[in-house]
Structures are given as C-alpha cells and as structure tokens.
A and B are shown apart, each in its own frame.
Chain A
Amino acid sequence: MVPIHYYLILSAVMFITGVVGVLTRRNAIIIFMCIELMLNSVNLTFVAFSAYLGNETGQMFVFFIMAVAAAEAAVGLAIVIALFRNRQTVNINDVNILRW
C-alpha cells in the first residue's frame, strides 16, 4: 500500500504549482485555473486522510469545498466577463482602480 506521505507530497506539489501560477501569470482566467488547482490539492489531502483514518468526515469537507468552488467559479467568471466588457482586457496589471 502507498504510504500516506506520498499523497501529501503530491498535493503539496500541486498546491505550490497553483501558487506559482497565481504569482507569475497575469491573466485573470489562468489565475482562476490555478485557484482550482489549489482547491483540488486540498481536497486530495482531505480524501487521503479520510481514507487512511477510516473516517468519512473528511469526504464531507470535500463535498462542501466543491460547492464553494462551484460558487466561486460562477461569480468569478461573471466578474471577469463584466470586466472584459468594460475595459476590453483580462490582464490584471491593467485593472488597478482599487490599487492604493
């Protein structure tokens, strides 16, 4: 059987990949995809612990994280589309109205 820290290291690598994407890419949609990557890696951690502890509660957390991720994707894409309609760009360096 695969030891649990294999799963944990895999999800850490996935999470860090998502962080790199958020830090270096400037396209709002790519940043969304990287946020989904990070949420997926957290879900993988939950499921791994749930399986190795023999307790289903971790899978319930995954269920709720999926609901929140769906809501976040819907609202976020709506914001990106509204932004594109008003400014004709999805590059977040060009969107600095709120920058101090």
Chain B
Amino acid sequence: MEMTILFYVFAVLTVGSAFAVVFARSLIYSAFSLLFTFMGVAGLYVLLSADFIAVAQIMVYIGGILILLVFGVMLTRQVTDVEIRTSAFRTLPATVVVGLALGTLIVIFIRTKWMQVHTIPDIEGTTMELGELLLTTFVLPFEVAGILLLVAIMGAALIARR
C-alpha cells in the first residue's frame, strides 16, 4: 500500500516537473524543473529495486548532464534575453498527432496482458549481478561504450574550441 502512495508521489513529481520543463517561461526554470524530473525518476528506480541504476542516474544525469545544460544556458544568454513564448507555429497538427500517439500507447498498455514472472524482491543490491554481466556477457558493448565516450569527449573539445 505504501508502495502505491510512494509511486504516486514520484509519478506526480516526475510528470509535473516534466511539464514545467516544456512550458516554463525562462530557460533557468526549465533546467531546475529537469532536476526534479531526474530526482523523481531516480526515486522510481529505487521503488523498482534498481539501486545501482538509481545512483548512476543521480550521478550521471544530475551531476553531469544537468550541470552541462546549465553551463550551456549561461554561455548562450543574450543581453536582450526575454525568452519570448514560441509563437503558435503549427500547434494544432502537433497537438492532434501527439494526442493520437499518447491515446494509442495508453490503450495498448492497458489492454495487453503483461507477463509477470515474479514479484519484485526486497532490495538486496543489484550491483554484483550488474558487474558480472558487464564483464562477461556484455564485455564487448562495454568496451565500445568506452571508446564512444572517449571519441565524444575529444569531439566536444574540438568543436567547442573553434
């Protein structure tokens, strides 16, 4: 029962701040709302007993990507920055398409009979299983991800410098 209440708390936090990201007037407000979205998703990971992923979410998204985004906001601030709301530019077709997509997804999710193999166990730590998988079954993608990160860092430094 308390799991359900916690789920609703985190769900409202996540969805509410996601709306704030999209519709906020100023860029800084959007960035701070994104912080609460990431926190809500991390809480949902804890509810799903994925402790390692929850900590990685906080460290990578809040500690890395969000800081980077805030730097981006600060570095691209114009002097006359009032951040005018977007004009009603093809809003109607966008709303129709997006609403149809959302409706279809929700109907499919509700009507499908989802397989549920077992109940979620109490938190006992997934770090060991993940580490074993990472260095046995998924060792090649692990190395490729490392190379990707190296190339991305070098590319970012090169592009931002010129």
Docked complex Cα distance between A90 and B109 (Å)? 38
B126–A59 contact, CB under 8 A?
Answer: yes
Mark out the residues of chain A between 1 and 53 whose CB falls within 8 Å of any chain B CB in the assembled complex: 1-10, 12-14, 16-21, 23-27, 29-30, 32-34, 36-37, 40, 43-44, 47-48, 50-53
B-contact bits for A68-100, CB 8 A (1 contact / 0 none):
111111110111111010001110000000000
Set of chain B residues within 8 Å of A37, measured between Cβ atoms = 18, 21, 34, 37
B120 at the A/B interface (Cβ < 8 Å)? yes
* In-complex Cβ contact of B48 among A9, A51, A63, A74 (8 A): A51
Q: Is the CB of A47 within 8 A of B50?
A: yes
Q: How far is the CA of A70 from the CA of B146 in the complex (A)?
A: 12
20 A-B pairs with C-beta separation under 8 A: A6-B7, A8-B109, A13-B102, A16-B105, A20-B22, A24-B86, A29-B76, A30-B27, A37-B18, A40-B41, A56-B130, A56-B133, A67-B145, A67-B148, A67-B149, A69-B61, A73-B69, A77-B68, A79-B159, A84-B76
CA distance A64 to B57 in the complex (A): 12
Which of chain A's residues have a CB closer than 8 A to the CB of B60?
66, 69-70
Alpha-carbon distance between A84 and B72 when the two chains are bound, in angstroms: 10
Known contacts A10-B15, A33-B21: does B48 contact A80 (CB below 8 Å)? no
- Interchain nearest-CB distance for A62 vs B (Å): 5
Q: CB-CB < 8 A to B115: which residues of A? A: 53
Q: Interface size of B by Cβ–Cβ distance < 8 Å?
A: 80
Q: How far is the CA of A67 from the CA of B133 in the complex (A)?
A: 16
Asked if B130 contacts A32 (CB within 8 A), the reply is no
Q: Which residues of B are in contact with A by a Cβ distance under 8 Å?
A: 3-4, 7, 11, 14-15, 18-19, 21-22, 27, 30-31, 34, 37-38, 41, 44-45, 47-50, 52-53, 56-57, 60-61, 64-65, 68-69, 71-73, 75-76, 78, 83, 86, 89-91, 94, 98, 101-102, 105-106, 109-110, 112, 114-121, 126, 129-130, 133-134, 138, 141, 145, 148-149, 151-153, 155-157, 159-160, 162
Are B27 and A47 touching (Cβ within 8 A)? no
* Complex: A88 Cα to B34 Cα, angstroms: 25
Chain A residue contacts of B126, Cβ below 8 A: 56, 59
- Closest residue on chain B to residue A49 by CB atoms: B114
Instruction: Flag if A5 contacts B148 (CB, 8 Å).
Output: no
